[in-house]
Amino acid sequence: MDSDRIIQRLKELKQEALALYSHFHVAAIIETDSGEQYTGVNIESSSYGLTICAERVAVFKALSEGQRRFRRIYIMSDGGKPCPPCGACRQVLMDFAPDIEVVMIAESGEVKTSPLKELLPYAFDNKRLNS
């Protein structure tokens, strides 16, 4: 999908964020190896700690529909600059999509791209659970 189209979709999706408390809207689109796309927005709870980020909504939607292989995740937030995923989302992505490429896009079109492995070096993973 071309980048203008992704930017447009992310902008539209961001409006669906349920960010009553922070007023900070985030959208994510995760793409499977075969090119299917699953969307997510951040959803905030009145019990603030129960809030879930856009990236985890997207990956959980995809996982719950049986998807297991992912190549890319696009992220856009309010704020004018490319938005990096939070630590919790990096961990969940590492658990389910360690080889994913993270594409952080500002509304202006400014883009930063990074392999997840560079955003979460020396990561914890389930291999450590069996020692």
Classify each residue of 10-44 as buried b or exposed e, where b means 16 or more C-beta atoms within 10 Å of its C-beta: beebbeebebeeeeebbbbbbbbeeeebbbbbbbb
Task: For the segment 45-64, give every residue that binds ligand THU (CB under 6 A).
Answer: 51, 53-55
Name the catalytic one among 31, 36, 55, 101: 55
Least distance (Å) from ligand THU to the CB of residue 28? Answer: 7
Q: What are the Cα distances from residue 115, in Å, to 20, 43, 95, 98?
A: 31, 25, 14, 9
Question: What is the side-by-side strand order in the sheet with 70-77?
Answer: 37-41, 26-32, 70-77, 101-105, 111-115
- Distance of alpha carbon 111 from its chain centroid, rounded? 14
Q: Which of 19, 97, 116, 119 binds ligand THU (CB under 6 A)?
A: 19
Q: Which of 10, 42, 93, 103 binds ligand THU (CB under 6 A)?
A: 42
Task: For the segment 60-99, give every residue that binds ligand THU (CB under 6 A).
Answer: 85-86, 89
55 is known as an active-site residue: yes
Least distance (Å) from ligand THU to the CB of residue 105? Answer: 13
Q: Which stretch binds ligand THU (CB under 6 A): 20-28, 66-74, 97-105, 109-117?
A: 20-28
Least distance (Å) from ligand THU to the CB of residue 127? Answer: 25
